[in-house]
Structure 1
Amino acid sequence: MSTSKGLTDFLKSIKGDRMLWSVAALLAIFSFIPVYSASSNLAYLNGASGSTFAYLVKHFIHLVLGFSILYATHKIPYHYFRGLSIILLPIVIVLLIVTLLQGTTMQGANASRWIQVPIVNFSFQTSTLASVVLLIYVARYLSKIKDTEYTFKETILPLWVPVFLVVGLILPANLSTAAIIFFIVLILTFVGGYTMKYTGAIVGIGMLSLVLFGLTAKAFPDLFPNRVDTWISRIETFTQDEQTKEQYQVEKAKIAIATGGITGNGIGKSVQRNFLPQSSSDFIYAIIVEEMGMVGGIGVILAYLFMLYRIAIIVTKSETAYGRLLVIAAGIPIIFQAFVNIAVAVEFLPVTGQTLPLVGSGGTSIWMTCLSLGIVISVSANNEVRSIAEAKEKEREDNQAIENPLEVLSETI
């Protein structure tokens, strides 16, 4: 009885958009099926005698920690994230610098995106945290200047220097994440009413900086050892159709999707999981389609589209510019990352290393996705409080009208 009461009290303590909570929980629960199936090749390769249970437990722990972060974050009033972004921005910049200096290889993946914490033997992908913090910071600044007159020069230091600094530190090892961050920043500036002329100038500066960076990396390969080669080779492979490791992965992913058909080969019956090195993370969508067919693949896409729909609802219900921009800053990257992952699996984009949010394995990705969802739900919870207050005020006015019908009639006449 006490357990049932405790569960009831816990469910009552959950605030915000219940639909968004539900779709996030369903994706997390669903993820156990493809992760358990796709991890079998990793179990054999790592000498675990073919047992995938350890990977399933690890994924379960990541999800538990992630949803704990989500729950804790959604309890924080969203206006507190203004100050937190200012405090955390210099911290994540330092972390990005440290990561570039001590980046290590994780299961053969490109290495300058992970930081190792030696005391607890813990690895963390700093770029994902940096992206969340930076986008919140940009949302804060844009809401601050929304109704003021400003010049391009006035916005360079407080807005664009942090953006280029964070993106520039992420770029050498993780082009896709850097590109996604910059693209979301541009969306925020558009929604936030930032002058289009200034935005165009920033895009030009960004493209020029990227070209100069690429030329420098090609001219001085020792300047950025093993950090730029990966993303340059991926672009070349995508455009020239060379037979490389990345092309091998994409071909296996396409075979998995093609053999899945309408209903799939059955759960646990994937063949290509034995050939895809990142089958439980980067290419998990291909395994889903192979085992569950087009039905499973479309179902996953619809889940993310529904999540996007709920995010849009929260944006429209937000009464402050900061609330709207904050939801876009925290919510849109999740959807964008999901469709980038799916696009890679069908060879619509070059290999990026982006996991499928809440479905693919990976602790940092799950935790930062849950952090972002917590921020979005925090805004929706505030909207609910406002709606309840407005409803109570309307009810009070209606009660007064009932008590004084002659007065209301006279005012109407």
Structure 2
Amino acid sequence: MKSVLRNIKGDRMIWAVAALLAIFSFLPVYSASSNLAYLYGDGDTFGFLVKHFAHLALGFGIMYWVHKIPYHYFKGLSIIMLPVIVILLLLTMAQNTTIEGANASRWIRLPFVGVTFQTSTLSAVVLMAFVARYLTKIKDKSVTFKETLLPLWLPVFIILMLILPANFSTAAILFAMVIVLVFLGGYPLRYITVVLGSGFVVLAFFVLFAKAFPGVFPNRVDTWVSRVENFVDDTDTEEDYQIERAKIAIARGELLGKGPGKSVQRNFLPQSSSDFIYAIIVEEWGLFGGLFLMLLYALLLFRIVIVAHKSADVFGKLLVIGVGLPIVFQAFINMAVAVELFPVTGQTLPLISSGGSSIWMTCLAIGIVLSVSSNREEILEKENMMQESSDDKDALEILSEVV
């Protein structure tokens, strides 16, 4: 363990926040999994706790391994992985996976190991690294929109269109993050406006196509529309069940909460250990617990910005923002959904919610951020060594002159 700790590099605060989130997650996941244990198991919640521990252990293993990789390698890896994720997304759409009888077209079942994996989570990390690489390539160059259409926007729209049919919220968040990244990367604002307009046009055509041929993408567009309508309309309907239960859980939490493991709404709230785990956290830990969790994500965002600012080159800055910002953005969307500030999206709470794909890809993204941070530390160490060597040389020269 000591040797591992000595080899941990990068921003210590990011390591600490990630560890705190992971440790804290065991309590709400263990508490909220009682509903899943009753529905799909034999009533024993310990198995869900062990599974969550295994997901986190593998995730932190990924984080540790990735943070040892020089971040410049992710330039080439993003290009290599781009066609891989396109194939994975196509396979995900083709196989039409079901999990426990429910439609799970966002997941692919890995052969031989029997593990399901959400391909869109990996696609998001790879795509953001790819966009960061391209923006670095054209930095300080005058480019036309036509020149960037094929090398930049074609891959972006292909991946988004492959994600969109099964997971509108992830596609929308990823599109928004790409727009933020290209804006920060200095891409011309007039071209960004064209891309935004094109995105809305493509979405409109997709909705019209899905409405005209409902058998191609069954129920997906209707689900999006109903979620938005339920968010806008105050009339209670059967579709409002999840959000109403979440609001009840939050209201019961008050300031200090009911105590760990004493949630009542966990027995009634679907997805209580994943999409709506924040409501269970507030019910058990109260307003102070909910605010403390928000502060942890805000601190993570602050450290991500610091790492990006201190990065040695443009690619490092854009890479950190590209893979780090979506983690915090997703977290605040999850919390906003629980308090009905946002329509239901199905986004999990990073490093808190149960589920392997989300945990693993969050750890992958944090590992990339730490890789950039550790590179900065290595540069500083080399500069200090050179300075010390220079000081020793100057001292020897002064001593020789005196003698």
Match of 2:215 in 1: 222
Structure 1 unmatched runs, 5+: 1-6, 407-413
Match of 1:51 in 2: 44
Q: Please tell me whether residue 153 in structure 1 is matched to residue 146 in structure 2.
A: yes
Alignment partner of 1:365 out of 358, 361, 382: 358
Q: Distance in 2 between matches of 1:245 and 1:357?
A: 28
Q: Please tell me whether residue 12 in structure 1 is matched to residue 18 in structure 2.
A: no
Residues 277-336 of structure 1: per-residue CA shift (max 9 Å, x gap): 100000000000000001110110011011111101101110200000000111001001
Post-superposition shift, 1:404? 5.5
Match of 2:284 in 1: 291
Q: 1:120 to 1:226 in 2, by over 3 A?
A: farther
Post-superposition shift, 1:405? 6.5
Match of 1:33 in 2: 27
Residues 333-381 of structure 1: per-residue CA shift (max 9 Å, x gap): 1001100100000001111111100000000000000000010000000
Match of 1:4 in 2: none
Q: Distance in 2 between matches of 1:151 and 1:47?
A: 58
Match of 1:165 in 2: 158
Post-superposition shift, 1:400? 4.3
Q: 1:230 to 1:119 in 2, by over 3 A?
A: farther
Q: What is the SS of the residue equivalent to 1:228?
A: helix
Match of 1:133 in 2: 126
% of aligned pairs identical? 62
Q: Distance in 2 between matches of 1:329 and 1:110?
A: 30
Post-superposition shift, 1:131? 0.7
Alignment partner of 2:178 out of 171, 182, 185: 185
Q: Distance in 2 between matches of 1:343 and 1:398?
A: 55
Match of 1:3 in 2: none
Q: Distance in 2 between matches of 1:107 and 1:262?
A: 37
Post-superposition shift, 1:397? 3.6
Task: Out of 326-335 and 222-231, give the one that drifted further.
Answer: 222-231
Q: Distance in 1 between matches of 2:185 and 2:29?
A: 39
CA RMSD of aligned residues (A): 1.7
Post-superposition shift, 1:108? 6.6
Alignment of 1:14-413 (within 5 A): 14-48=8-42, 50-106=43-99, 111-241=104-234, 243-244=236-237, 246-403=239-396
Q: 1:245 to 1:65 in 2, by over 3 A?
A: farther
Task: Out of 211-220 and 299-308, give the one that drifted further.
Answer: 211-220
Post-superposition shift, 1:218? 1.7
Letter in 1 for 2:346: G
Post-superposition shift, 1:221? 1.1
Q: Distance in 2 between matches of 1:304 and 1:107?
A: 32
Q: Distance in 2 between matches of 1:179 and 1:196?
A: 20
- Residues 110 and 227 of structure 1 are in contact (CA less than 8 Å); yes or no, is this contact kept in structure 2? no
Post-superposition shift, 1:145? 0.4
Letter in 1 for 2:280: I
Q: 1:110 to 1:301 in 2, by over 3 A?
A: farther
Letter in 2 for 1:10: V
Post-superposition shift, 1:401? 4.7
Residues 141-172 of structure 1: per-residue CA shift (max 9 Å, x gap): 00010122211101000100011111111111
Q: 1:311 to 1:246 in 2, by over 3 A?
A: farther
Task: Out of 11-20 and 217-226, give the one that drifted further.
Answer: 217-226
Q: Distance in 2 between matches of 1:240 and 1:14?
A: 50
Q: 1:100 to 1:54 in 2, by over 3 A?
A: same
Letter in 2 for 1:272: Q
Letter in 1 for 2:194: A
Q: 1:225 to 1:285 in 2, by over 3 A?
A: same
Task: Out of 237-246 and 296-305, give the one that drifted further.
Answer: 237-246
Post-superposition shift, 1:120? 2.2
Q: Distance in 1 between matches of 2:197 and 2:91?
A: 29
**Paired positions, count:** 400
Letter in 2 for 1:205: S
